């Protein structure tokens, strides 16, 4: 039997970031991951995430940003438009006096950089290939029975084990969920025209297609969300026919496209845990909420969860030494639930706002978008949301001082 202060289950972006945030506090931390340890290697961009300024600041503070940015593509413009209409919205970094609106980062590269940094902390023990068979709680401890037969006790257990969280399900924490009736097709395509550091998204009545710029100026990662049957058909098409379909759906904005990777198909579900805390167990990131990728916010939201949790743990350690779970976790839950709810609502409004092809709503949407595009004051709240600058940010993700983002590389 082993004992530690905090066990984190799941070494995705959220679990690794939390471990790294907590490491300097001198606590004994264990990070359990059922998969293999992240391996060094060049980014292949098979799965990418658009990280916003708030995440950038957090990761920079942890000393991992330069490594992530070295393999990422900054984007200076965002263009959002409605297919077959005149509705269009544009955002630019120059307008905001920023060097970039965000970065398209390779998911594996994010994990690899975090893990490499974490290996320098001897108080954090990482156990890879470690599945869990059982969880139980007493007044003082949470007990985890590993598949290997080992028993681990800890004062606090953090579930960072993703959208299908084993911990959330084992504790039967209530979950609100619905099927978005979309599967996301993810692939890399080579373009004829350079992407010009612009993240693009075109909304069709049956779902959005995002074209995310990669470091190669003629390559984009696409996230194409369509109804499940259509996604299956598109995935089964020969490569050339698929590329033609993406070219048509992108309205040839980058000229003819060519498929240069495998296609992945990911079913999309909204999940929101109604209860994030039970005793000494707390949910973070995708274990607590998973949202539609149309605005590229899921990972950003999860990183803010762990930054908030680490901030509260650190504050409490300074004030009273020990971790007082009920008070601490109740504060965390209040704080982060309201942030997640706001984002889920915004995503739903977006998704429903663009669904359906009826003529009148389409014309109204087009007029609305065109008016909005001309009103920089009205665009500002949308911009703040996209940059991650809205809501109650954890300290580690706030700008050091007004204007300090202008110096970001
Ligand atoms: C198509 C698509 C595009 C997206 N694009 C963006 C984007 O542009 N920007 C953005 O911010 N977000 C984006 N997201 C969301 C983002 O990918 C997720 O929010 C984020 O990866 C979740 O991180 P996590 O660490 O919570 O979970 P995960 O990355 O799922 O990590 C969970 C970890 O826990 C481990 N695990 C699971 N069960 C156990 C267990 N029982 N024991 C031990 N370990 C376990 C898993 O192996 C995994 O390593 C996108 C999502 C999708 C589907």
Q: Would you place residue 288 in the very low, low, confident or very high pLDDT band (cuts 50, 70, 90)?
A: very high
CA–CA–CA angle 302, 304, 306 (5° rounding)? 75
Average pLDDT over residues 49-70: 97
Q: Which two tokens stand for residue 150?
A: 């080992």
Ligand 1 atom closest to Cα of residue 268: 53
Predicted local confidence at residue 407, as pLDDT: 58
Ligand 1 neighbourhood includes 38 CB (under 6 angstroms) = no
Q: Which two tokens stand for residue 178?
A: 């619905």
C-alpha to C-alpha distance for 150 and 1, rounded to whole angstroms: 7
Ligand 1 centre from 80 Cα, in Å? 25
Give residue-wise pLDDT tens across range 87-104.
788 999 998 899 999 999
If we measure between CA atoms, which residue out of 297, 313, 333, 130 comes closest to residue 210? Answer: 297
Average pLDDT over residues 4-23: 98
Predicted local confidence at residue 409, as pLDDT: 47
Q: Would you place residue 210 in the very low, low, confident or very high pLDDT band (cuts 50, 70, 90)?
A: very high
Predicted local confidence at residue 408, as pLDDT: 57
Ligand 1 centre from 107 Cα, in Å? 9
Q: Which two tokens stand for residue 275?
A: 């209860």
Predicted local confidence at residue 365, as pLDDT: 64
Give residue-wise pLDDT tens across range 138-157.
989 999 999 999 999 999 99
Residue closest via CA to ligand 1's atom 3 equals 293
Give residue-wise pLDDT tens across range 348-376.
777 666 666 555 566 556 666 666 666 66
CA atoms lying within 13 Å on the CB side of residue 256: 4
Ligand 1 neighbourhood includes 35 CB (under 6 angstroms) = yes
C-alpha to C-alpha distance for 286 and 289, rounded to whole angstroms: 5
Percent of the chain with pLDDT over 90: 77
Ligand 1 neighbourhood includes 298 CB (under 6 angstroms) = yes
Percent of the chain with pLDDT over 70: 91
Question: Which strand (E) or helix (H) includes residue 180?
Answer: strand 175-191
Ligand 1 neighbourhood includes 131 CB (under 6 angstroms) = yes
Predicted local confidence at residue 194, as pLDDT: 98
Distances (CA, A) of 98 to 49, 53, 186, 238, 309: 20, 10, 29, 41, 29
Q: Which two tokens stand for residue 179?
A: 């099927």
Ligand 1 neighbourhood includes 202 CB (under 6 angstroms) = no
If we measure between CA atoms, which residue out of 265, 239, 253, 256 comes closest to residue 186? Answer: 265
Q: What is the largest CA-CA distance in the chain?
A: 66
**Number of separate helices (H) and strands (E) present in the chain:** 11, 20
Average pLDDT over residues 242-246: 98
CA–CA–CA angle 306, 127, 11 (5° rounding)? 30
Q: Which two tokens stand for residue 74?
A: 């900054």
- What is the signed CA dihedral for 102, 72, 310, 285, rounded to 10 degrees? 80
Ligand 1 neighbourhood includes 186 CB (under 6 angstroms) = yes
Sign of the torsion angle spanned by Cα atoms 353, 393, 289, 49: positive
- The CATH number given to 2-176+269-407 is 3.50.50.60
Q: Where are the domains of the chain?
A: 2-176+269-407
């Amino acid at each position: 039997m082993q004992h530690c202060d905090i066990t984190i289950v799941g070494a995705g972006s959220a679990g690794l970031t939390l471990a790294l945030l907590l490491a300097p506090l001198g606590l004994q931390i264990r990070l359990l991951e059922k998969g293999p340890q992240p391996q060094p290697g060049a980014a292949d961009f098979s799965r990418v995430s658009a990280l916003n300024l708030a995440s950038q600041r957090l990761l920079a503070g942890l000393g991992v940003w330069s490594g992530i940015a070295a393999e990422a593509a900054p984007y200076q413009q965002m263009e959002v438009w409605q297919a077959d209409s005149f509705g269009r919205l544009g955002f630019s970094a120059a307008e905001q006096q920023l060097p970039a609106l965000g970065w398209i980062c390779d998911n594996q590269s994010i994990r690899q950089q975090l893990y490499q940094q974490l290996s320098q902390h001897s108080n954090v023990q990482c156990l890879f290939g470690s599945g869990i068979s059982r969880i139980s709680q007493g007044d003082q401890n949470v007990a985890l029975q590993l598949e290997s037969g080992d028993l681990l006790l800890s004062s606090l257990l953090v579930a960072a084990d993703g959208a299908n969280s084993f911990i959330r399900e084992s504790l039967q924490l209530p979950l609100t969920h619905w099927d978005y009736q979309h599967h996301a097709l993810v692939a890399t395509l080579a373009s004829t025209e350079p992407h010009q550091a612009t993240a693009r998204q075109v909304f069709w009545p049956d779902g959005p297609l995002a074209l995310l710029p990669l470091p190669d100026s003629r390559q984009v990662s696409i996230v194409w969300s369509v109804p499940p049957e259509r996604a299956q058909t598109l995935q089964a098409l020969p490569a050339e026919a698929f590329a033609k379909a993406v070219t048509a759906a992108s309205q040839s904005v980058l000229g003819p496209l060519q498929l240069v990777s495998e296609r992945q198909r990911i079913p999309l579900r909204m999940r929101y845990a109604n209860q994030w805390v039970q005793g000494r167990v707390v949910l973070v990131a995708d274990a607590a909420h998973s949202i539609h990728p149309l605005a590229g916010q899921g990972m950003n939201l999860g990183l803010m969860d762990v930054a908030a949790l680490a901030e509260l743990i650190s504050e409490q350690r300074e004030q009273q030494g020990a971790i007082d779970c009920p008070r601490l976790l109740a504060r965390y839950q209040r704080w982060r639930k309201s942030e997640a709810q706001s984002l889920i609502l915004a995503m739903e409004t977006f998704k429903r706002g663009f669904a359906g092809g009826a003529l009148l709503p389409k014309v109204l949407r087009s007029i609305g978008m065109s008016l909005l595009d001309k009103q920089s004051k009205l665009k500002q709240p949308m911009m703040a949301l996209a940059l991650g600058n809205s809501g109650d940010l954890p300290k580690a993700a706030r700008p050091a001082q007004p204007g300090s983002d202008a110096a970001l590389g």
